[in-house]
Structure 1
């Protein structure tokens, strides 16, 4: 099952697992803390998340470009995870909403610094024929952390502590363990160092990658926040008490499907797997538009979870296939930036269509863009190159 998963990939997967446990112990409680304890309104909550995610998207690009120009990627990975792990629990000290904004900003700066170098290090540590499996494995552990974190926070609140701030402090423990794993168990892998110009023109993604990223951006513009799926679930009868169970169920599907579909993409080709995943997304969104009962919602969340399993590993492995070793950081920087930049207008558009027209029209819009992006990928993006080796790269 774990054949082809190098020690580096295993350790980075565990790092992501522990980091997500720490993050998800806090994140679901954050709206309650900001609005109920600190007295801020939904608008300020939206501003916090908008600033935090936009900052992360920009820094993913900067750190990706930077890690191609230095010999080791581990330093940036360590710096990013350390900043997030040390700053995130400081929400426990927040006495004003502005203090939460500062902490969230620091947390997302750390995420922006680490993400692209980490993805490039995973690619450097894996044989070409196994990258779909490796990225799928990493995403599986990441989703596992998103399951354990809220459950752990719920258990703490139910049986051990009654104060949100105590839970935030306890979230520091898995974060510190993640940093320790990077220090002692993650190792740099030699990679060609880019010596190209740092002019804006030269830092732009290469032509063979540019088309893929533009198509990915087109898809992202129809890929709104999953919070709208929870809103739709509430409309169709899923009670607030069952929403956390639905969300956990969704992450279980994502976790259990990421590695198998990533491995399958190594065998049948990444582009075909991505197209299939976008087709699943199209039908899922069409289903959310037409759903009429709670049973439909549970079935659709399971189906929609498969979309993540089919695409998260394959998209990154496909990007690695297209990029030269010395430009992997740059490629992942632009990839993460495209996804991050597209996410904000996607949710704004979706929300406007929902409010001004109908939920059915909003889901139809997302399904239509996904279908168009899949057709564009088939028409203009090159197929993955054939991989003959199954031995790990040195």
Structure 2
């Protein structure tokens, strides 16, 4: 089986155009909420947290159902369809509650599609190149994100920084979203398999490396923050509004450059070792953001790009390596649920801390815990990687 077969390339192209559409909107939403709809940081954190929690819960259900359905593509198409068609409705939003509804619906689509899509990729991928393949998929994600955020920057530069300009960008995001759906429907082939009976799943059916992974990733996510707070902190650091999509493009460009090399190094040196490195990178990026100033924001976005190039891609590669075919979507669902619950807590707490104690404290806390967990994971890497090898054998 070739590492980059038709399914992998088509799913990569689908992700490229989906992220093109998404990233025309995402770097603008926190600013739109803050400046034009007058939402507090706590409200923004709550909106993002609820959206991520919804993803987590739906991924678990979608993954469980996909493993018992014996097919992957139908749920994948439905999830991508919902996300790509709902996001442009931000054009009509008149309140934070309306943005929250659109954002949650978008994430519902992600929750439905993610586990079956990852299982579809996994089923099309040999174990010895799983890090490379998931790195390639992440690279295509980020390349689309670069195109989307550059488009947002160009449109804001041309149209100006008014509320009407933001709404125009939201509406235009429909175009790449429709292209992504066409690619998915016409060029991705399902990979049917013998479905797992309900009685087949029990906690012991998933490997010990899987639970090590879920534990570390969940604990890390409990203290980390997502892109929305990075964008708001960049504004707080004095970065001009029109430059924020460009800085976000820089983040996605770094992500795109490093996604495949991180995957290849993980295949060679061990996924836990590389995961500890991306934890440390997040810690350094958060510290740069907390230091203040526009330079700190640019450094933070760049380092955060390296982190994002490996965080979920490495986790998905570990799950691909160590989980039976008929339980892969279930495993991805369990993983995303655990990380999503932690992310919900993190975002709500970060918004609360920001409103009460200032912008820098959440980033200092995130930096401290990220670097601590990086050291712990590095110390446990041999035991963790030996367990992975034993499970594969």
The TM-score range, normalised by the shorter chain, is 0.7 to 0.9
Preserved contact between residue 224 and residue 347 of structure 1 (Cα < 8 Å): yes
Q: Deviations over 1:248-285 (max 9, x none)?
A: 21111011100121122222222222223223334444
In structure 1, the partner of 2:25 is 26
Q: Indicate yes or no: 2:131 matched with 1:132.
A: yes
Query: Aligned equivalents of 1:343 and 1:213: distance in 2?
Result: 13
* Alignment RMSD (CA, Å): 3.2
Q: Is the 8 A contact 1:11 1:186 kept in 2?
A: yes
Under a length normalisation based on structure 2, what TM-score does the superposition of the two structures give? Answer: 0.84
**Conserved in 2, the CA contact under 8 Å of 1:222 and 1:365?**
no
- Contact preservation (8 Å) 2:132, 2:260: yes
- Aligned partners of 2:46 and 2:348 also within 8 Å: no
* Equivalent residue, structure 1, for 2:255: 254
**Partners in 1 of 2:293 and 2:153 — Cα distance?**
28
CA displacement 1:90-110 (0-9 Å, x = unmatched): 333445554443333322211
Which TM-score applies when normalising by structure 1? 0.84
Q: Is the contact between residue 53 and residue 343 of structure 2 (CA under 8 Å) also seen in structure 1?
A: no
Pick the aligned partner of 1:370 from 350, 368, 373: 373
> Shift in Å at residue 367 of structure 1?
3.1
SS at match of 1:139: helix
2:85 matched residue in structure 1: 86
Q: Which residue of 2 aligns with 1:213?
A: 214
Q: Which residue of structure 2 aligns with residue 225 of structure 1?
A: 226
Higher deviation after alignment, 73-82 or 201-210: 201-210
Q: How big is each residue's C-alpha offset from its partner over 1:100-154, in whole Å with a ceiling of 9 and x where there is no partner? A: 4333332221111001111111110111111111111111111122221122234
Structure-1 separation of matches of 2:299 and 2:99: 36
Which has the higher mean CA deviation after the structures are superposed, 28-37 or 17-26?
Answer: 28-37
Q: How many residues align?
A: 382
Alignment of 1:1-394 (within 5 A): 4-31=3-30, 33-34=32-33, 39=37, 41-42=39-40, 45-94=44-93, 97-159=96-158, 163-197=165-199, 202=202, 206=206, 208=208, 209-233=210-234, 238-286=239-287, 288=289, 291=291, 294-350=294-350, 355-356=356-357, 359=361, 361-371=364-374, 373-375=376-378, 377-378=380-381, 381-383=384-386, 384-385=388-389
Give the unaligned 5+ runs of structure 1. 389-394
Distance in 2 between the 1:166 and 1:356 partners?
Answer: 35
Is the 1:215–1:377 contact (alpha carbons within 8 Å) kept by the matching residues of 2?
no
Task: Give, in whole Å, the separation in 2 of the partners of 1:348 and 1:114.
Answer: 25
